[in-house]
Amino acid sequence: MNYQTYGDPDGRPVFYFHGTPGAPAEADWLAAAAQANGLRILALERDSLGPHLQGEAYLVELTAALVRRAGEHPVHLLGFSIGASLALRVAAKLPKPAAGVWLVSAAAPLEWPECWQGMGAGRYTFALAQSYPWLFKLLAVYQGFLARHFTGLLLRGLFQGARGADAQLLAQAPLRAQLMDVQRQCFAGGAGAYVRDVQCYVEPWAASLAQVRAPVQLWHGDQDNWAPVSMAHALLAQFGTQGQLHWLAGRSHYSCLRDAAQPLCQQLATHYCD
């Protein structure tokens, strides 16, 4: 599996799982804070595994590739949005417990009914992927077409109904440019990897959380309606004293990733030194 590197090229490694629709370029929002704290963000290019790997085979290969890359070093996992679900499922499969799992705007299992509460337009995409996967694949192909040729139109659709600080992101030219780059990178090789990640997410996976043997840090915006706050509460309840939740007032989904970068990287660096 390939990786993109952000932050300090000689720093302590942290494995980053991007969101969906998303791409490793998301980690650029963490780069300055990672550099300042001596961290090297290794953003996994999950599409390099090839969309032919599905379900359990995908998770097994994802875990094996990460283990090969980590070697004997302790594993620190960082996941954003749907990438948080993959970080947790990989943590559950590691042969040795991860040193820690950091989750930003984490998407929780959909078999927990409370996780649908407060969700925006994403609920329709997930329901479609669950009940009519062939229709969802057609939607994904259309989104890929927009990402390649009308990226701004795709972003406006994705951000329709966005709350909190996310509602202002597209009005800021540098942030809009970053988000457009993420969407182009997501669909550069077609829609297959995106479809796989969504279908992997909507399947039942809550049972695997009992196998996560690592401290879990949750960073979540209190205005998030992509991964609604009910998901953060549900995950915290699952991990109990093993978990800790940090709220970012007025932040939603992407704005939480942007504004959590500095305190989160400071926490990661401190954890490395403990």
Pick one of 3.40.50.970, 3.65.10.10, 3.40.1380.10, 3.40.50.1820 as the CATH number of 2-273.
3.40.50.1820
pLDDT of 118 reads 92
pLDDT of 193 reads 93
The percent of residues above 70 in pLDDT, for the chain, comes to 99
d(CA 226, CA 150): 22
E strands, the chain, where?
2-7, 12-17, 39-45, 76-80, 100-104, 216-221, 243-248
Residue corresponding to tokens 């329901």:
127
Q: Which one-letter amino acid corresponds to residue 162? A: A
pLDDT of 274 reads 62
User: What value does the mean pLDDT of the chain take?
Assistant: 94
**pTM (2 decimals)?**
0.96
pLDDT of 271 reads 82
d(CA 6, CA 16): 10
pLDDT per position as a tens digit, 199-226: 999 999 999 999 999 999 999 999 999 9
pLDDT of 117 reads 92
Domain range list for the chain: 2-273
Q: pLDDT below 70 — which residues of the chain?
A: 273-274
Provide the 3-class DSSP secondary structure of residue 216: strand
